């Protein structure tokens, strides 16, 4: 990857004829696959992509630890009621964390557009680490009463602000650091690290389940993963302060245009609404098959907690491996065919898959059914970040990716688990499956009508 100043100078020179006539220029190569030993700047770019991905890993580890361990700490903060009622209360706070994500996306999207992608990335991981540390150290309701769930809410608000800004900054950063012919592949690592963070949370859970009793897990064991997350976040904060800035940000800064919420919806209303629409079915399906699925396996399919953890860990590991494969496929055939494939599969197969999982009868069958659902969702998860980045110009790209996505997540992703558990409590569990299927159908209409962003997006003309 060339330095910012070098890229701007090269773009300026390209406007004028060469003094040597029409002599063929050297063929440009993809900065990610060129021999990095001979190109220090490209080696820096590769390190920057790794650094950005590791930060995303820590962000999502911290975010999912809450969901993975809520079955153990729900009673410590909400002692009244049965298990479903306690989980419903923790799911409500989980949803509140999503509701504040648009605020984080708005504030930190503007921050990343104005101050730089790496500045936004460092701020987001710092907020996440602070929220995890607060949860790991806070007293429970037995000690401070009503203030315990209040502190839990504050911690999740901090993490919600963090995740709201992380998505736009990391999606923009990875897209801008990648070469044109590898954007699908490189951007797919956002969900590789996202899923990797969730797997790490589950791995910590499995380790603690093996080492500690159920009583110990409910007493103190649930605190351990939050402390681990806060320490990892501090390390990544230091790392992100040292990564390279993107050339696109330098060009956007030189243009003099400023990012703002008003400018986004005044100048790019169609693109913003498109992001909301194409995200709705995808984010709902993702959270249905990941965060809610573990509760579904325990509460509805009658698996034990450890069995559910093993099933989800194995399925998510393969799901993670699929992301780069789908990303590479999108670089060859485009983004739109993959989105359409997800829309069709989600619409037709969601209800049959959830129904079959409930009566699977064994861990192997449940694993295959969950994996089938995640395979369908991969058509969305692997490329959604690059699709959104390709819709907006550089000066407003981080905000354009983050804010509409966060709005869709608040409405459909963050509420998925709460709606599902509420429907279980009122005896209408199957309605949730039809809800997911219906939202996939609505997103499918959008996928069918949208243009191919790889060919017609704002990044389509960049040098490969």
DSSP 391-405: TS-GGGHHHHHHHHH
pLDDT of residue 382: 93
Residue 38 in domain: no
Residue 430 in domain: yes
Name the nearest CA neighbour of 67 among 85, 91, 89, 83. 91
Task: For 273-284, write each residue's pLDDT tens digit.
Answer: 999 999 999 999
361 backbone φψ class: left, alpha, beta (φ>0; ψ -120 to 50):
left
Residue 299 in domain: yes
Enter the tokens of residue 249. Answer: 């940000």
pLDDT-derived band at 44, boundaries 50, 70, 90: low
Name the nearest CA neighbour of 157 among 98, 231, 217, 220. 98
Residue pair 420/296 in contact (Cβ under 8 Å)? The answer is: yes
pLDDT of residue 45: 59
CATH number at residue 306: 1.20.1250.20
* C-alpha separations of 324 from 135, 188, 312, 413 in Å: 33, 5, 20, 23
Please tell me which residue, 54 or 22, carries the higher pLDDT value. 54
Q: Is the pLDDT of residue 253 over 90?
A: no
pLDDT of residue 460: 60
Enter the tokens of residue 11. Answer: 């773009």
pLDDT-derived band at 337, boundaries 50, 70, 90: very high
* CA gap 396, 262 in Å, rounded: 11
What are the helix (H) ranges across 256-362? 261-267, 269-289, 291-299, 305-333, 336-358
* C-alpha separations of 91 from 38, 292, 416, 421 in Å: 51, 10, 9, 8
Task: For 347-391, write each residue's pLDDT tens digit.
Answer: 999 999 999 999 887 899 999 999 999 999 999 999 998 999 999
Mean local confidence (pLDDT), 321-341: 94
Q: What is the mean pLDDT of the chain?
A: 82
Residue 226 in domain: yes
* CA gap 357, 349 in Å, rounded: 12
pLDDT-derived band at 26, boundaries 50, 70, 90: very low
* CA gap 126, 368 in Å, rounded: 37
Residue 28 in domain: no
Mean local confidence (pLDDT), 158-173: 84
Tally of CB atoms within 10 A around 438: 15
pLDDT of residue 186: 85
Q: Is the pLDDT of residue 431 over 50?
A: yes
Residue pair 413/241 in contact (Cβ under 8 Å)? The answer is: no
* CA gap 265, 398 in Å, rounded: 14
Mean local confidence (pLDDT), 27-44: 46
Mean local confidence (pLDDT), 47-60: 75
pLDDT of residue 80: 66
pLDDT-derived band at 93, boundaries 50, 70, 90: confident
pLDDT-derived band at 71, boundaries 50, 70, 90: confident
pLDDT of residue 432: 94
Residue 4 in domain: no
Rounded-to-5 percentages of helix, strand, coil across the chain: 80, 0, 20
Q: Which residues constitute the domain of residue 292?
A: 45-456
Domain tally, the chain: 1
Mean local confidence (pLDDT), 325-336: 94
Q: Is the pLDDT of residue 37 over 80?
A: no
Name the nearest CA neighbour of 108 among 458, 390, 405, 416. 405
Burial of 24 from C-beta contacts in 10 A (0-12 / 13-18 / 19+): exposed
Residue 39 in domain: no
* CA gap 271, 97 in Å, rounded: 25
Q: Is the pLDDT of residue 33 over 50?
A: no
Please tell me which residue, 434 or 72, carries the higher pLDDT value. 434
pLDDT of residue 23: 43
């Amino acid at each position: 990857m060339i330095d910012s100043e070098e890229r701007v100078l090269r773009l300026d020179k390209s406007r004028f004829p060469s003094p040597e006539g029409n002599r063929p220029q050297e063929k440009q190569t993809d900065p990610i696959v060129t021999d990095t030993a001979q190109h220090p700047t490209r080696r820096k770019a590769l390190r920057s992509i790794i650094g950005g991905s590791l930060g995303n890993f820590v962000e999502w580890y911290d975010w999912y630890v809450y969901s993975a361990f809520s079955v153990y700490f729900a009673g410590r903060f909400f002692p009244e009621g049965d298990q479903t009622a306690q989980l419903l209360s923790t799911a409500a706070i989980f949803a509140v964390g999503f509701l504040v994500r648009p605020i984080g996306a708005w504030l930190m999207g503007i921050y990343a557009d104005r101050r730089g992608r790496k500045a936004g990335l460092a701020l987001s991981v710092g907020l996440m680490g602070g929220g995890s540390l607060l949860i790991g150290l806070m007293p429970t309701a037995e000690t401070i009463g009503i203030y315990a769930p209040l502190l839990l809410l504050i911690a999740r608000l901090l993490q919600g602000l963090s995740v709201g800004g992380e998505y736009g900054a990391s999606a923009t950063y990875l897209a801008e650091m990648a070469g044109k012919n590898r954007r699908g592949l490189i951007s797919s690592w956002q969900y590789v690290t996202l899923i990797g963070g969730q797997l790490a949370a589950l791995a910590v859970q499995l380790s603690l389940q093996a080492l500690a009793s159920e009583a110990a897990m409910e007493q103190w064991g649930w605190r351990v993963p939050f402390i681990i997350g806060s320490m990892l976040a501090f390390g990544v904060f230091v790392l992100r302060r040292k990564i390279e800035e993107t050339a696109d940000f330098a060009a956007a800064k030189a243009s003099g245009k400023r990012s703002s919420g008003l400018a986004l919806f005044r100048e790019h209303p169609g693109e913003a609404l498109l992001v909301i629409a194409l995200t709705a079915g995808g984010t709902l399906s993702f959270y249905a098959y990941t965060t809610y699925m573990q509760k579904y396996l325990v509460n509805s399919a009658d698996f034990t907690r450890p069995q559910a953890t093993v099933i989800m860990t194995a399925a998510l590991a393969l799901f993670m491996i699929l992301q780069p494969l789908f990303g590479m496929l999108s670089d060859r055939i485009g983004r739109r065919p993959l989105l359409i494939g997800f829309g069709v599969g989600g619409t037709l197969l969601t209800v049959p898959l959830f129904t079959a999982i409930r009566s699977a009868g064994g861990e192997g069958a449940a694993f295959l059914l969950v994996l089938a659902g995640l395979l369908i969702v991969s058509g969305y998860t692997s490329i959604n970040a690059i699709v959104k980045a390709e819709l907006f110009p550089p000066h407003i790209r981080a905000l354009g990716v983050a804010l509409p996505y966060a709005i869709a997540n608040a409405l459909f992703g963050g509420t998925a688990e709460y709606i599902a558990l509420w429907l279980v409590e009122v005896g209408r569990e199957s309605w949730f499956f039809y809800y997911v299927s219906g939202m996939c159908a609505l997103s499918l209409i959008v996928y069918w009508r949208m243009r191919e962003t790889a060919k017609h997006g704002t990044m389509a003309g960049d040098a490969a």
